[in-house]
Structure 1
Amino acid sequence: MDSDIQLTLTTGLLIRLENVQQVINGQSGSDVTNLLTALFTTNSYDKRVRPKTDQTSATTVDLDLYLVGINDINEIEGKLTTTAFLHLGWIDEFLVWSPPSYGGIGYFYIPQSDIWKPDITLENGFSKLKELGNSFINAAVTMNGQVFWKPFEVFETKCSLDTKYFPFDKQTCKLSFVVWSSGIEDVNVTLWNNGINLDYYEENSEWTVLSTAHIEASDASESRVVFSLNIERNSAYYIMNIIIPVILLSFLNVLTFALPADSGEKISQCITVFLSFSVFLTIVNAELPKTSGSIVGYYLIFQLAMGTIVITITVLQLRLHHRKDPVPPSVIKIIKCLPFNRIAAVNSTDKNKVENIQIKNTERDDVDCETETTWSDVVSSIDFVMFWTALGIVMIATIVVLTILSSH
């Protein structure tokens, strides 16, 4: 019997505590219904009316941008695609109530389509203008009329891209939000607390956010807020898969001049390297920017031109190498004037023995090599000079290009 009485007392106490808690937290469904009825039916709330008692004063809308991720950057179309959501807040003077009159309710959520919203849109969007958010997104309304709205979007923004310093390029893209229909005297959009917030940002494998900026760029007739993203391309992938292979192929191209003409592999070497370079460009073409003006693009054209020059010189060398007529004195003098030349002097009495000699500049005019110098010697001298010349040109061009790109 005592246990039954104790159970009854305990149950009654729990019911009373639950009722008190329900009143304090405003969790009664009837209280919420009464509140919504009073605001939207009794007070005849009309979302077409700007929520300002004094219609001559502007409604101030505060705005922040929460960047979630950078999806894609299209160089050809000049398009930046980002995932983000806006955090907007304003005072709706028609949605104000006294919490004690409705069970202590301090706030409620309501679909965005049921209340007044500012006609804010992405001014520099890539597609047609559309309403922010979606029908399933709710706005939070507090007892003093403060409205919080967080529309989530995938923004496609026009962005002028400069790929001159690819793959070390840095880009600045802007997202401009403007009040499209209402004038600044009716709706004034301003920055809130953080501008661009990166708390929810997920790193992109290709692009890194360096910094952000935001300004209020309102004019006499329109109210707008502009957010800027300063981003940098991650260059490691392009260095490993494009720049370094091109540099290695360029040195293989120069090694053509190190092969003797008698080996029979000279022309095969330069053509093979040239074809390898052409096939490589075809493979990596999808990774290169499709716009003109890239320094890397000019560098690739330079390497392609070097391959063409090497093939041309090699063909001429082989043509000279197989000539049987004597070398004209004028050609000998030209060869002797070349820096670092090496002339193979052939003994006229024993042409089976060949001795390589270096002739000093002061002795060149006194030596008669008309019967000692062959076309093979001329080709050998051209090889020696062209090897160091081509190597120097390739190294200087590579160092200059990498210095310009990395110092940007």
Structure 2
Amino acid sequence: MYFCIVVVIALFSPRHVVGNNSSVGTQLYKDLLLNYEKNVRPGINYSYPTTVECEFRFAGLNGFKEIDSKLSITGVFVIRWFDERLIWNPYTYGGIYSTLLHKESLWIPDIAVTNAYSGVRFLYGIDFDIRAYYNGTMVMVTGDNFDVYCDADVTYYPVDIQTCFMNMVLWSSFPWEVTFEKVDVDHSLRDVTTSNPSWDVTEVKMFTEINPKIKTTMLNIRIKLKRLSEYIVINMILPVSFLCVINIFVFFLPADSGERIGFSITLLLSVAVFMTILSDSLPQSSRPQIAALCYFLFSQLMISILMMIFTIYGLRFYWMDPEKPIPTYMKFVSRVIGRLVGCQCCKRRQLTGVVEPVLTPDSGSGENGKKHVANFDKIPLDADEHFTWQKIANDFDNFCIIVFIFAIVLTNAVFCGKLSSNPEL
């Protein structure tokens, strides 16, 4: 009787393999893939779509080329789904709770990157295995360097913030067949990667949406980059601004020194050569707008050119023939500039001469029988005697100093205001 009970238990109880080894693993592999059809999606009830969970682990930013609109990142995807056809009893196979199955033998969600820089590419192009768990949970881990297309907006260069996307889609599945669920971003890998010297990643976010045009589920990763502008400000913006400020001192040089033209041309060439060297560093993009820094550098160059022209014109006044009459409008402008600058020598004034009193005999009262016949009124001298071509040249220099200081301050204020109006800041 006892023997019969033992036989029945041995025949009808699940097989339990003591210990696990390669033979048990091989048997499990064969049993799982027996009659398995990889072209059929998993699902107990096809009234509901197969849900796919996706987690993106951002590993690092390799580079961003504004000219080529190319963003290069390194990332790892952890994708999970449930396949009821791959469930087994761990006690039957020696306590094996998970095993590796080759991706070519299984159904996997066909995720493709639609905005890849080299064209549409599938997310998992390399050869790898998938971890299968006894309860039917499938975990696929894949990582690579991804180059995606990102159209840069350099309007607020060098304090611009770029927003790029990595767009993915279930290539051959409808939303009612396969859909994404529980998408998330894990930043744990950023601590083990080197940071980019030019950009700082401020945000990495993953979200899904249904595209009604192509009738499929889109999986998008949004990456925000903030440019590190310290190098550009110190090595590009400040030197050009300082060169233009120094250029103003050309009007303080005495005209007799003969150094004005050389000083002005030298600084103009310095600005031109400096901008030529920096042209390779500027973003060569015209859409949607040219960088504000390009307009700023161009304005500084034009100011230096105008300073050189005005310097030559001022020297022309200084060395004018003294016998040549000064036009009336120049005298009027000189008076106005003198009052604006506050120069006492330019203010209109009357210089008077007093005639010595003449004494004549007089029968009337008076000291010693004499009186002062005439104490002439103050006679104003001709004001034109104080206008010379040298004075016109000095007034013109004062006018240029005021105008170009205002121009430099204005261009810098407009440039800083443009950068501060960045809505992303």
Structure-1-length-normalised TM-score: 0.84
Q: Residues 329, 397 of structure 1: CA spacing in aligned structure 2 closer, same or farther, 3 A cutoff? A: same
Indicate the residue corresponding to 2:308 in structure 1: 311
Query: 1:237 aligned to 2:231?
Result: yes
Query: 1:65 aligned to 2:56?
Result: yes
Secondary structure at the residue paired with 1:205?
Answer: coil
1:333-344 equivalences under 5 Å are 333-340=332-339
User: Once the two structures are superposed, what CA deviation does each residue of 1:124-181 show, in whole Å capped at 9, x if it has no partner?
Assistant: 2222222322444222110011111122122222223211111111111111211011
**Amino acid paired to 1:314:** T
Q: Residues 126, 339 of structure 1: CA spacing in aligned structure 2 closer, same or farther, 3 A cutoff? A: farther
Is the contact between residue 112 and residue 170 of structure 2 (CA under 8 Å) also seen in structure 1? Answer: yes
Indicate the residue corresponding to 2:86 in structure 1: 95
Secondary structure at the residue paired with 1:93?
Answer: strand
Q: Per-residue deviation at 1:271?
A: 0.9
**Deviates further, 172-181 or 73-82:** 73-82
Q: Quick check: which has more Rg, 1 or 2?
A: 2
Indicate the residue corresponding to 1:28 in structure 2: 21
Q: % of aligned pairs identical?
A: 28
Distance in structure 2 (CA, Å) of the matches to 1:164 and 1:289: 10
Is the contact between residue 190 and residue 224 of structure 1 (CA under 8 Å) also seen in structure 2? Answer: no
Q: Residues 335, 56 of structure 1: CA spacing in aligned structure 2 closer, same or farther, 3 A cutoff? A: same
1:252-401 equivalences under 5 Å are 252-292=246-286, 293-324=290-321, 325-340=324-339, 357-360=344-347, 368-401=382-415
Q: Per-residue deviation at 1:378?
A: 1.1
Q: Per-residue deviation at 1:198?
A: 1.7
Task: Tell me which of 134, 137, 151 is aligned to 2:128.
Answer: 137
Distance in structure 2 (CA, Å) of the matches to 1:339 and 1:85: 72
Distance in structure 2 (CA, Å) of the matches to 1:311 and 1:38: 88
Indicate the residue corresponding to 1:200 in structure 2: 189
Distance in structure 1 (CA, Å) of the matches to 2:160 and 2:57: 25
Q: Residues 266, 359 of structure 1: CA spacing in aligned structure 2 closer, same or farther, 3 A cutoff? A: closer
Distance in structure 1 (CA, Å) of the matches to 2:164 and 2:350: 67
Distance in structure 1 (CA, Å) of the matches to 2:274 and 2:417: 24
Q: Per-residue deviation at 1:340?
A: 4.9
**Amino acid paired to 1:196:** V
Is the contact between residue 92 and residue 145 of structure 1 (CA under 8 Å) also seen in structure 2? Answer: yes
Is the contact between residue 82 and residue 154 of structure 1 (CA under 8 Å) also seen in structure 2? Answer: yes
User: Once the two structures are superposed, what CA deviation does each residue of 1:58-92 show, in whole Å capped at 9, x if it has no partner?
Assistant: 21111121111112222233222211121111012
Is the contact between residue 328 and residue 370 of structure 1 (CA under 8 Å) also seen in structure 2? Answer: no
Unmatched 5+ stretches in structure 1: 1-22, 344-355
Q: Per-residue deviation at 1:339?
A: 4.8
Unmatched 5+ stretches in structure 2: 1-16, 352-379
Q: Per-residue deviation at 1:208?
A: 1.2
User: Once the two structures are superposed, what CA deviation does each residue of 1:13-46 show, in whole Å capped at 9, x if it has no partner?
Assistant: xxxxxxxxxx78x641111011001112xx2223
Q: Per-residue deviation at 1:48?
A: 2.0
Distance in structure 2 (CA, Å) of the matches to 1:217 and 1:47: 27
Structure-2-length-normalised TM-score: 0.80
Is the contact between residue 71 and residue 81 of structure 1 (CA under 8 Å) also seen in structure 2? Answer: yes
- Root-mean-square deviation (CA), in Å? 2.4
**Amino acid paired to 2:418:** I
Q: Residues 388, 238 of structure 1: CA spacing in aligned structure 2 closer, same or farther, 3 A cutoff? A: same
Q: Residues 380, 28 of structure 1: CA spacing in aligned structure 2 closer, same or farther, 3 A cutoff? A: same
Distance in structure 2 (CA, Å) of the matches to 1:359 and 1:399: 32
Q: Residues 214, 268 of structure 1: CA spacing in aligned structure 2 closer, same or farther, 3 A cutoff? A: same
